[in-house]
Structure 1
Amino acid sequence: MSKFRRLRHEIGSGLARCRRLAAVAACILAATALAMPAAAEPIRGSGSTFAFPIIAAWSDGFLRDRNDGGDFVGNDAGVDYEPVGSLGGIMRLAQPEIDFAASDAPLPPAETSKRGLAQFPIVLGGIAPVVNLDGIGPGRLRLSGAALADIYLGRIERWNHPVLRELNPELALPDLPIGVVYRSDGSGSTLTWTRFLSRASADWRQQMGADTVIAWLRGAGARGSAGMIEAVQRTKGAIGYAEFGQVRRSGLAFTQVQNHAGAFVTPSPEVFAATAGAVRWDAGQDFHADPGDVDAPGAYPLTAATFILMHKRDRSEGRTLRTLYFLSYALDKGAKEAAALGYVPLPAELAGTVRDYWRASLPGGAGL
């Protein structure tokens, strides 16, 4: 055999061996892939920025609980939550990959029935007016609903306005323009805020009304609770509104608010809990209620609740059940996390009513 033919033969034999080895390697890789569990899909939610900090904390806690051998047969991928605002969350729930929406603006029963949705509260809290004024600390400034309405309508433009001085005779309010900040996205916080202003001011009620999105007359828009707080922090003399726990952690000053009975109330988890305790939570109406519409003497008029919305029929039983395991963690083991962040966990009786509602309304809920 010539050197050329011998070389060609050796190359051919080598290539054949390579092909056999490649085939074996491919089989090994395929068998390994079949033996490995499929990548877990996260539970997907979207909506309220009011509730974003606590949902993020619950997601972390849920994963830790699973890793420590907790009782919940959940999903090791955790929760993927987009804080797009209450209105955005409800809209995204129509997307097939979304398992739940979180909203501070509950839908009326006729709407949940039409859309085939279950709706129930998951956590309580409050909206606080927040200001950036030198020398005025948290809880010192007093504001009425009528004064807040006039600020946002443009009738009160400076901090030393006579109406504000009369409400705060002990404070040296500065001769400084009031920088109004509002939520530009569809927000349950805006609904809570504008409902309060509508009750306190006939002019606001007639001109502006209450909704998750309104046509603001003045000021600068901000997206999300974090965006609201950042905008107020940037501007001396600014005023805005945001979830109390986030406001408190920001270091900005929150104000006392005059309630429907005429008393000035400082926001706190304790007053949110007392106010929400006076609400009639009706499972037959999908828990549709407004915690801010309580006339008790010590009630805080900007108390709010975050509601979870889920499909009754358009998601598989397995997907619904894994979401309920996460929410079950939130009601039980997540109560301490909620309190630590300035929210109010659901009272035990209300949490029990919510569980009964799951069993009656959602596929797989009867197994909880």
Structure 2
Amino acid sequence: MSFGKSIKALVAACVVATTASVAHAETRLNGSGASFPFPIYSTWFQDFSAKTPDASVDYQSKGSGAGIQDLINGTVDFAGSDAGISDEDIVKVSRGVVALPMTAGEIVLAFNLEGIQELRLSREAYSGIFAGEIERWNDPAIAATNEGVDLPDEPIIVIRRSDSSGTTYVFTRHLSAIDPEFKENVGIGTTVQWPQSERFVAAPKNDGITAMVMQTPGAIGYIEYGYAKLTGTPTAALENKAGKFIQPNETSGMAALAGADLSSDDLRIWIDDANGDDAYPIATFTWLLFYEKYDDPKKAELARAVIEYGLTDGQKIAPDLGYIPLPEVIIERIREEVKRIK
């Protein structure tokens, strides 16, 4: 072999060795779960991975129920859930669970009515729609709060989740809080028995419901505000506890978080029916679930770094993506909880 070829071979070997070393050195975190926060998580993790040498964080949108099950099965390094995690599921995770509310959002009612961009729905109206009791768009309960709007005499097509969903859990908690009959007949859960009607159509994940609403005349569905904002889908102004009709946005979302009860010992904090004159009625935190103990200390270190990114740079971009920045008091409590991750 000539001297030149020998040098080329040596350089090639060094490149292979260096590449292998870098690949070996890279620490990866793989997560799955809620679709509600997917737009913001995917943005966070891509930016964090780009800025952090030898580290990579990936997240798959599967629904909260699937994410929690992956965490229990040990097939992921972390999970996302809009339903938090129950005590019953925590005991199934041998390595322990640290549940952190990393962002917050509003559940909105996206609709598709030709020629109508603004719609006001009373508590009676929107709970009645999802209970299956209000069936047509020109129902008196809807018409009463939409004077001058030419509501069509057409059936309401209700788009609901087909998968195990934290968004469904939060939405049905709210509907059950404002309507005892809904609580009795439909109930609360990541999956529930929606009315058996051809008007109720199932779709997977937040993006699936968004797409179904956009392509179905006469449809209404519940999604995270960020999906409506990114797609330009109209959303209804909803009557809050104070009797005011409120549009979802950063201001009304922050007003909802301001009224949250923070007295619980852990960070599984719920806002079933937001307080405050200016509060949008359906707001929620959404959680990242990490193991308390990792087999690889580098993964624990990376998890803590990702969380800190979310609490700093991540919060700054939340409004642009349709999410609500966390109150400082919550951020301080999260930083204390993060110390449990080893």
TM-score (ref. length: structure 2): 0.89
Measured after TM superposition, the shift of residue 341 of structure 1 is 0.6
- Could you tell me which residue of structure 2 aligns to residue 57 of structure 1? 43
Are the aligned partners of 2:72 and 2:89 in contact in 1 as well (CA < 8 Å)? no
Paired with 2:28 and 2:291, the residues of 1 have a C-alpha distance of 17
Q: Deviations over 1:275-303 (max 9, x none)?
A: 11221335732x11112333333322210
Are the aligned partners of 2:33 and 2:68 in contact in 1 as well (CA < 8 Å)? yes
Paired with 1:244 and 1:132, the residues of 2 have a C-alpha distance of 15
* DSSP 3-state at the match of 1:93: helix
Measured after TM superposition, the shift of residue 111 of structure 1 is 4.7
| Unmatched tracts of structure 1, length 5 or more | 1-16, 18-23, 67-73, 364-368
Structure 1 27/97 Cα, relative in aligned 2: closer, same or farther at 3 Å? Answer: farther
Amino acid at match of 1:301: P
Paired with 2:313 and 2:294, the residues of 1 have a C-alpha distance of 29
- Could you tell me which residue of structure 2 aligns to residue 149 of structure 1? 127
Say yes or no: does 1:165 pair with 2:147. no
- Could you tell me which residue of structure 2 aligns to residue 331 of structure 1? 311
- Could you tell me which residue of structure 2 aligns to residue 362 of structure 1? 341
Are the aligned partners of 1:132 and 1:232 in contact in 2 as well (CA < 8 Å)? yes
- Higher-Rg structure is 1
Structure 1 109/269 Cα, relative in aligned 2: closer, same or farther at 3 Å? Answer: farther
- Could you tell me which residue of structure 2 aligns to residue 47 of structure 1? 33
Paired with 1:64 and 1:348, the residues of 2 have a C-alpha distance of 27
Amino acid at match of 1:42: R
Amino acid at match of 2:341: L
Are the aligned partners of 1:109 and 1:288 in contact in 2 as well (CA < 8 Å)? no
Amino acid at match of 1:102: G
Structure 1 264/28 Cα, relative in aligned 2: closer, same or farther at 3 Å? Answer: closer
Say yes or no: does 1:178 pair with 2:172. no
Paired with 1:151 and 1:170, the residues of 2 have a C-alpha distance of 21
Measured after TM superposition, the shift of residue 199 of structure 1 is 1.7
Structure 1 282/202 Cα, relative in aligned 2: closer, same or farther at 3 Å? Answer: closer
- Could you tell me which residue of structure 1 aligns to residue 4 of structure 2? none
Say yes or no: does 1:222 pair with 2:203. yes
Select the residue among 70, 78, 81 that pairs with 1:100.
78
Q: Deviations over 1:130-166 (max 9, x none)?
A: 10011221xx211123322322232211101111111
Q: Deviations over 1:92-117 (max 9, x none)?
A: 11343411111111124565366321
- Could you tell me which residue of structure 1 aligns to residue 234 of structure 2? 253
Are the aligned partners of 1:43 and 1:75 in contact in 2 as well (CA < 8 Å)? no
Paired with 1:171 and 1:25, the residues of 2 have a C-alpha distance of 76
Structure 1 291/202 Cα, relative in aligned 2: closer, same or farther at 3 Å? Answer: closer
Q: Equivalent residues in 2 for 1:64-213 (5 A)?
A: 64-66=50-52, 75-76=54-55, 78-108=56-86, 111-112=89-90, 115=93, 116-137=96-117, 140-213=118-191
How high is the sequence identity, in percent, across the aligned residues?
32
| Unmatched tracts of structure 2, length 5 or more | 2-6
Amino acid at match of 1:268: N
Say yes or no: does 1:241 pair with 2:219. no
Amino acid at match of 1:119: A
Q: Equivalent residues in 2 for 1:260-271 (5 A)?
A: 260-271=241-252
TM-score (ref. length: structure 1): 0.83
- Could you tell me which residue of structure 2 aligns to residue 294 of structure 1? 274
